[in-house]
């Protein structure tokens, strides 16, 4: 097996292409898992909303709100794995893309 120092330009380009493909696949998987986490969270929030609406006292509503906030802070955000998004974004930025001019800022159609 060759060391990195002895790889030819074509081999380096092939490795970069493979890494870029893996990064793109990882990005799509991360988005899919984040969406699933958020959809689950919406169901949980709807459940809490029903419980709060049916609560008979402000004290009970307060407890339910506290449980909901705890769930949002402790379960949803960590399960989004923002650290993996950040790492992959940094990987994309460090490898660059010959097709990108940097003049455009891609925004999802619903946002921009």
Q: Rounded to the nearest 10 degrees, what angle do helices 58-71 and 9-54 cross at?
A: 170
Rounded to the nearest angstrom, the gap between the alpha carbon of residue 50 and the centroid of all alpha carbons in its chain is 28
* pLDDT tens for each residue of the chain, 112 residues long: 666 667 788 888 888 888 889 989 999 999 999 999 999 999 999 999 999 999 999 999 999 999 999 988 888 888 888 899 999 888 888 876 655 545 455 666 665 5
Instruction: Give this prediction's pTM.
Output: 0.67
């Amino acid at each position: 097996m060759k060391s990195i120092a002895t790889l030819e330009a074509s081999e380096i380009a092939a490795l970069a292409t493979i890494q870029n493909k893996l990064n793109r696949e990882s990005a799509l998987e991360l988005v899919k898992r984040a969406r699933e986490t958020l959809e689950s969270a919406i169901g949980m929030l709807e459940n809490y909303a029903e419980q709060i609406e049916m609560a008979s006292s402000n004290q009970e509503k307060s407890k339910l709100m506290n449980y909901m906030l705890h769930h949002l802070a402790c379960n949803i955000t960590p399960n989004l794995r923002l650290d993996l998004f950040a790492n992959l974004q940094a990987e994309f930025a460090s490898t660059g893309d010959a097709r990108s001019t940097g003049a455009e800022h891609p925004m999802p159609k619903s946002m921009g």
